[in-house]
Amino acid sequence: MNTIYYLVQNMLPVAVPLLLVALGGMFSERSGVINIALEGIMLFGAFFGCLTVYFTQNSGMNAQVILLFGMIAAAVAGIIFSLLLSLAAVNLKADQTITGTALNMLVPAVILLFSKMKYNSDGITTDVNFYIQSIPGLSKIPVLGDMFFKKTYLTVYIGFLLLIIATIIFYKTKFGLRLRACGEHPQAADSVGINVYVMRHAGVGISGFLGGIGGFFYSVGVMDGNVNGHTGVAGFGFLALAVMIFGQWKPIKIMFAALFFAFLRVLAYSVALIPILNQMDINQTYFKMLPYVATMIVLIFTSKKSRAPKAEGIPYDKGRR
């Protein structure tokens, strides 16, 4: 039982960044813009989040308050950075894959340059303990308390809150409906008076918001509050893309996909702590490959009927209506 508690406790902080970033990708792609820049957006958000933490860590504020400040900074940074993508992709009708790739290349270089010049290091190192040992009251609930309210991070709760909000916006509001229309048939959307450009800017902007927060949460939950230009977010932005496709561009399915992936990853990194797996004496590297292999196998079985938003990747041109 303790092993299960351990796995769940460790899985959630890993799943949340994936979940948020994949949701961001979903908003962007359902509005019609392919967002390969998620990796860059994450790292950019993580960088500004950590920078905020770095400057506020000695102010004597509560660690969780600092986390919220970092989160806000990361979200704003993500939105601003995603503008680079949406301006190029929506207004200038640039190739979205190329733009995204360029932005991904840009961020690590910027972080390394800044950190090396300012702090003579490869990234930002902070010294705040965001870890929550146990939540008073709630952690007393049998089983559930052990799973969800002990040894965790605030990021987990914020992440699931954002999932609920995103799902409601996506399915239950006029805005969500319009956004989805722009990704399927922008000409039709335009013909009923929806401004496709604005909706696509909004879609990419939301992906910047969620991607930035996701990146900062990766820093908090996986990197212990640090960010490094060399390792970056270890391909989580790309993994989030896989999670998004695996989740069929739908919020709830994306959640399950993120949990599945995070579970395999945690399993890979804690083989030594799980007696059954440890006794099998398999090289740990196989476990590290497991999340990637498993995602691919799942994609093989789900991709046949998978249907990407119809108009994604095609710049909208009013003149061609």
Nearest distance, CB of residue 281 and other proteins, angstroms: 14
**Partners of 227 in beta bridges:** 124
Are 32 and 312 spatial neighbours (Cβ–Cβ below 8 Å)? yes
84 binds other proteins (CB under 8 A): yes
Supply the Cα-derived Rg of the chain in whole angstroms: 20
Nearest distance, CB of residue 150 and other proteins, angstroms: 31
Nearest residue (CB) to other proteins, 64 versus 306: 306
Q: What is the DSSP string of 113-179?
A: HHHHHHHSSSEE-------EEE-TTGGGSTTHHHHHSEEE-HHHHHHHHHHHHHHHHHHHSHHHHHH
Nearest distance, CB of residue 36 and other proteins, angstroms: 7
Q: What beta strand segments (E) does 225-310 contain?
A: 227-228
117 binds other proteins (CB under 8 A): yes
76 binds other proteins (CB under 8 A): no
Q: Interacting stretch for other proteins, rule CB under 8 A, among 45-53, 157-165, 185-193, 302-310?
A: 302-310
Nearest distance, CB of residue 196 and other proteins, angstroms: 18
**In the range 190-229, which residues lie near other proteins by CB under 8 A?**
229
Are 89 and 102 spatial neighbours (Cβ–Cβ below 8 Å)? no
How many residues of this chain bind other proteins (CB under 8 A)? 45
**In the range 42-71, which residues lie near other proteins by CB under 8 A?**
none
Percent helix, strand, coil in the chain (nearest 5)?
70, 5, 25
Nearest residue (CB) to other proteins, 113 versus 188: 113
101 binds other proteins (CB under 8 A): yes
Between 262 and 291, how does the x/- string for binding to other proteins read (CB under 8 A)? ---------------------x-x--xx--
Are 97 and 36 spatial neighbours (Cβ–Cβ below 8 Å)? yes
Are 208 and 78 spatial neighbours (Cβ–Cβ below 8 Å)? yes
Q: Tell me how far apart the alpha carbons of residues 3 and 240 are, in angstroms, rounded to a whole number.
A: 26
248 binds other proteins (CB under 8 A): no
The length of the chain in residues reads 321
105 binds other proteins (CB under 8 A): yes
Residues lying near other proteins in the complex (CB under 8 A) are found at: 36, 84, 88, 92-95, 97-99, 101-103, 105-106, 108-110, 112-113, 116-117, 229-230, 235, 238-239, 241-242, 245, 283, 285, 288-289, 292-293, 295-296, 299-301, 303-304, 306, 308
